[in-house]
Amino acid sequence: MEDFSLRHDARQPAGGARKMAIVGVVASGNLEVLVERVVPERECLVEIRTTAEGFGAVWNAVVADFVDRYSPGGLKFSINDGGARPDTVSLRLAQAVRLMEVEQ
């Protein structure tokens, strides 16, 4: 297992008012993303725990692209990863942001 966390500045706060959401499951090639509105609104924090070791650079790139695209300010993402491919990671992160925008 490998743990690391990535902190980014965000252009603007994420939309919606929901406090928490979760998507995905921890399985081979899949991951779960728990998202919480708990960090300052111009910041974004992504904490990753993954079974696939040595992919730090890939995570860096995927998360940087995600933050650039969605500007999820104020959100902390906690990830349990079962070795998902980068496109699956991107999909789940995007789903998590959208869920935070949905009325509850």
Partner 1 sequence: MSTTSMQAAIAPAALTSWYEASARTRVRLLLDPESFMEFVGPEKREVSPHLKVFDLPEQFDDGILVGHGSLGGSSVLIAAQEGSFMGGAFGEVHGAKLTGLLRAARDIGSMPVLILFDTGGVRLQEANAGELAIAEIMRAVIEARSAGAKVIGLIGGRAGCYGGGGLIAGCCSALAVSEQGRIAVSGPEVIETNRGVEEFDSRDRALVWRTMGGKHRRLLGAADAFVDDTIQAFRDAALVLLEQVGGFELSTLTNEQVRLEARLRDFGSCADAVDIWTAEGVADAGAVPALPVNQFIAVADHVRRISHDTR
Let me know how long the chain is: 104
Token couple for 83 = 């070795």
Binders of partner 1 among residues 75 to 94 (CB under 8 A) are 78, 80-82, 91
Token couple for 7 = 């902190």
To partner 1, the closest distance from the beta carbon of 68 in angstroms equals 21
Residue with smaller CB distance to partner 1, 9 or 24 = 24
Residue with smaller CB distance to partner 1, 27 or 64 = 27
Nearest to 38 by CA among 23, 24, 21, 25: 21
Pairwise CA distance, residues 39 & 70, whole Å: 16
CB 28 within 8 A of CB 82: yes
Residue 71 makes contact with partner 1 by CB under 8 A: no
Residue 60 makes contact with partner 1 by CB under 8 A: no
Token couple for 20 = 């928490």
To partner 1, the closest distance from the beta carbon of 60 in angstroms equals 20
Binding interface with partner 1 (CB under 8 A): 1, 20, 22-27, 30, 32, 34, 36, 49-51, 78, 80-82, 91, 95, 98-99, 102, 104
